[in-house]
């Protein structure tokens, strides 16, 4: 019988299967530590639970763009070489954030990084995307630089302005776009002071009035538009950064709200201390996993015909939901019940 993913998700069976955490690093020492931490946590959880995005946009000093690009190539290829030599069992997921398509360093980034490390990259992040025109323009350069033997690279895009939010449904629908992220800081600053600085942060647990990034109407509207656009096209909405990295409770609270209230299935990390709170917040509860397991096992045995569980009727619509609960559990490193292990084997 076909895999549950194919039966229940159909044409979108490959959508949404990204780690829930996207960790950004732009300084060499931190890049190396991030890649090492990825290897260590992959061994701990048995799967790659977070992506590492090597950052050329914010990471490169002015005038040092070429050196940054060459360093990214070396690090990405080194991570891939470790796998080829059998040093790790879990394949790393490494991406790169290029400069914006209209930046003078963009073409140089593409030629150096894509030309030199395409086979080691899982995706390319494009910042400051304003429209589908920007995506197509970037792809022409990326595809031209990609070696013949390398995979076609998925594209992640960063939406950072009111105009881009207005066009996000078209952007998310582009066939090469895999994920859309929200650029909070640029979005707030693009409003000429009309949105307060508090909207770039997270209010305290006892503050019920502050207009932070989860309560300012314009910011929340932008976030929900992005999430909705992604889900409409089977793409992955990725929530923006939380800068309060020293407060793990605030980080987990923010991540849980992004996942449960705003519809995000992925979130940025900018400090190693944020990775585990994001994983925890995006992980289904043990009770949810048990419930989903019972329903999917019975549905599979019934060849996906309607079933009754605990006095409630379930059919393909609810099967789809509970299967995705299990996929999220697997993505966040939760061990799968024995009766489902065959569905999650490599």
DSSP string, 90-151: SPP-EEEEPPPTTSTTHHHHIIIIIHHHGGG-SEEEE-S--SHHHHHHHHHHHHHHS-TTSP
Flag whether 136 is marked binding. Answer: no
Spatial separation of the C-alpha atoms in residues 124 and 126, rounded to whole Å: 7
Cα–Cα distances (Å) from 303 to 7, 8, 37, 239, in that order, read 10, 11, 41, 36
CB 291 within 8 A of CB 340: no
Beta carbons of 178 and 145 less than 8 angstroms apart: no
User: Rounded to 5, what percent of the chain is helix, strand, coil?
Assistant: 50, 15, 35
**CA-CA distance, 48 to 92, in Å (whole number)?**
6
Q: Is 153 helix (H, G, I), strand (E, B) or coil?
A: coil
Site of tokens 């044409």: 11
143 is known to lie in a ligand binding site: no
DSSP assignment string, 297-341: HHHHHTTT--EEETTEEE-HHHHHHHHHHHHHHHHTTPPPPGGGG
Which residues pair with residue 236 across a beta bridge?
179
Query: CA 81 → CA 30, 38, 42, 57, 84, distances in Å?
Result: 19, 15, 16, 25, 5
Residues linked to residue 97 through DSSP beta bridges, in sequence order:
55, 125
Overall size of the chain counted in residues: 346
Contact 254, 7 (CB under 8 A): no
Question: Is 97 marked as a binding-site residue?
Answer: yes
For residue 142, which phi and psi values (nearest 5 degrees)?
A: -65, -45
- Binding-site residues for Mg(2+), in ranges, read 160, 186
Which residues are part of a known binding site for substrate?
A: 97, 160
- As annotated, the binding site includes 97, 160, 186
């Amino acid at each position: 019988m076909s895999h549950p993913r194919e039966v229940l998700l159909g044409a979108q069976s490959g959508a949404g299967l990204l780690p829930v955490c996207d960790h950004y690093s732009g300084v060499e020492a931190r890049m190396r530590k991030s890649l090492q931490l990825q290897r260590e946590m992959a061994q701990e959880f048995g799967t790659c639970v977070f992506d590492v995005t090597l950052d050329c946009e914010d990471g490169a000093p002015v005038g040092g763009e070429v050196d940054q690009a060459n360093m990214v190539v070396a690090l990405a290829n080194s991570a891939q070489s470790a796998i080829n030599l059998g040093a790790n069992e879990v394949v790393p997921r490494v991406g790169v954030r290029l400069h914006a398509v209209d930046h003078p360093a963009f073409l140089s980034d593409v030629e150096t990084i894509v030309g030199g490390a395409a086979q080691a990259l899982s995706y390319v992040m494009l910042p400051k995307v304003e429209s589908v025109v920007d995506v197509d323009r970037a792809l022409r350069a990326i595809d031209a630089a990609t070696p013949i033997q390398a995979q076609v690279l998925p594209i992640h895009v960063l939406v950072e302005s009111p105009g881009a939010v207005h066009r996000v449904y078209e952007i998310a629908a582009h066939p090469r776009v895999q994920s859309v992220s929200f650029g909070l800081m640029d979005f707030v600053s693009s409003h000429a002071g009309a949105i307060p600085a508090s909207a770039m942060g997270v209010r305290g647990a006892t503050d019920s009035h502050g207009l932070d990034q989860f309560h300012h109407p314009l910011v929340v509207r932008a976030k929900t538009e992005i999430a909705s656009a992604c889900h409409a096209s089977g793409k992955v909405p990725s929530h923006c950064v939380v800068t309060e990295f020293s407060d793990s409770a605030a980080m987990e609270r923010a991540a849980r709200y992004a996942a449960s209230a705003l519809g995000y299935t992925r979130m940025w990390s900018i400090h190693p201390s944020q990775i585990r709170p994001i994983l925890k917040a995006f992980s289904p509860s043990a009770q949810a996993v048990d419930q989903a397991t019972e329903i999917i096992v019975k549905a599979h045995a019934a060849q996906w015909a309607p079933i009754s569980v605990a006095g409630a009727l379930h059919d393909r619509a609810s099967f789809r939901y509970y299967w995705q609960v299990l996929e999220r559990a697997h993505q966040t490193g939760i061990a799968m019940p024995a009766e489902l292990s065959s569905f999650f084997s490599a």
